[in-house]
Amino acid sequence: MSADQITLLDGATEPDSIEASLGGGTVVAYSDRSPDRETENEDTVAAIPYGPEAVVLVVADGVGGLPGGKRASETAVKILADSLHVARTETLLLRTAILDGIEAANKSVLDIGNGSATTMTVVTIEGLVARTYQVGDSEAIIVGQRGLIKSQTMVHSPTGFAVEAGFLDKREALHHEERHLLSNFVGTNDMRIDIGPAVQLRPRDTVLLASDGLTDNIQIDDVIDIMRTGPMAKSMESMIRLAHHRMINESKLQPSKPDDLSIILFRKIYKPGKVMTT
């Protein structure tokens, strides 16, 4: 895979997956449609190089219940990728390029004109520094080898805000009747972007981005236990297997929400003496 190649997954009719070396690390990504329907997968996943030591990871989940979810997610990701390509030629700071790109994506989804919308969760890896950008309820977490959460996006939903404020337990939120509602997404005039802090990556740290097909079916603590050790490809297989099992086996004890499933895992190939960049 060349340094300028954009990897785009959609899993429209069959599962789509990759393992590649990008941004000075390894990316493993997967996307598949919901097991309970034959309509297209409304998620779009991408890994976009931004130079030899930088990569932009993206998960966009077309909002269900609105028209053209797939078109919205795919449009948003492609516009972001186009904006990043232009920004590289202008040598813009990556943070500025991301913010401009998400704003351009929002305008393009609005311009579709059919009321469609999408989430968009972005993680930038630049040198040894990772940063999250969040719109909606797809999630990103950065986890150390011992399971310490170094960064986690906040879900933009009534239940997500209730959890953040301490009014609702994380486990209760997964079973809440309003867990599907969104309060922020790409495709609206009042879209907002939450920017996470810069996080310096250490050896064996793992970055995860996922649509709610993962996080609505597996507790975050369980996701972390699976992803933090061992080969990423094996962790990916375990998460996919468990999420699909939960989706098709409803239980009062465990969450069960059939949905499109998209996951990205990233680990930096650690080079001693690497200088932190921001």
Tell the residue number behind the tokens 């969760």, with chain if given. 121
User: How confident is the model over 8-38, as pLDDT tens digits?
Assistant: 666 666 678 888 888 999 999 999 999 988 8
Give the model's confidence band at 156: pLDDT under 50 very low, under 70 low, under 90 confident, else very high: low
Average pLDDT, the chain: 85
> 73 near 60, Cβ under 8 Å?
yes
Mean pLDDT of 147-157: 86
pTM of the shown model: 0.87
Task: Give CA–CA dist 123/107, Å, rounded.
Answer: 21
Query: What's the confidence (pLDDT) of residue 6?
Result: 56
Question: Is the model more confident about 113 or about 179?
Answer: 113
Task: Give CA–CA dist 41/260, Å, rounded.
Answer: 6
Q: Which residues pair with 94 in a beta bridge?
A: none
Query: What's the confidence (pLDDT) of residue 254?
Result: 76
Mean pLDDT of 213-238: 93
Query: What's the confidence (pLDDT) of residue 164?
Result: 54
The DSSP symbol for 188 reads: S
Task: Dump strand ranges (E) for 53-197.
Answer: 54-61, 120-126, 129-135, 139-143, 149-152, 194-195
Question: Is the model more confident about 93 or about 156?
Answer: 93
CA atoms within 13 A on the CB side of 214: 35
CATH topology of domain 7-268: Phosphatase 2c; domain 1 (3.60.40)
Query: What's the confidence (pLDDT) of residue 12?
Result: 63
Give the model's confidence band at 40: pLDDT under 50 very low, under 70 low, under 90 confident, else very high: confident
> 256 near 249, Cβ under 8 Å?
yes
Residue of 236, 264, 190, 218 whose CA lies nearest to 27: 264
Query: What's the confidence (pLDDT) of residue 1?
Result: 35
| pLDDT of 265 higher than 50 | yes
Query: What's the confidence (pLDDT) of residue 13?
Result: 64
User: How confident is the model over 51-75, as pLDDT tens digits?
Assistant: 888 999 999 999 876 668 999 999 9
Query: What's the confidence (pLDDT) of residue 4?
Result: 43
CA angle, corner 57, sides to 52 and 60, nearest 5?
155
Mean pLDDT of 108-129: 95
Question: Is the model more confident about 125 or about 12?
Answer: 125
Query: Which residues, at least 6 apart from 103, have a Cβ–Cβ distance to it below 8 Å?
Result: none
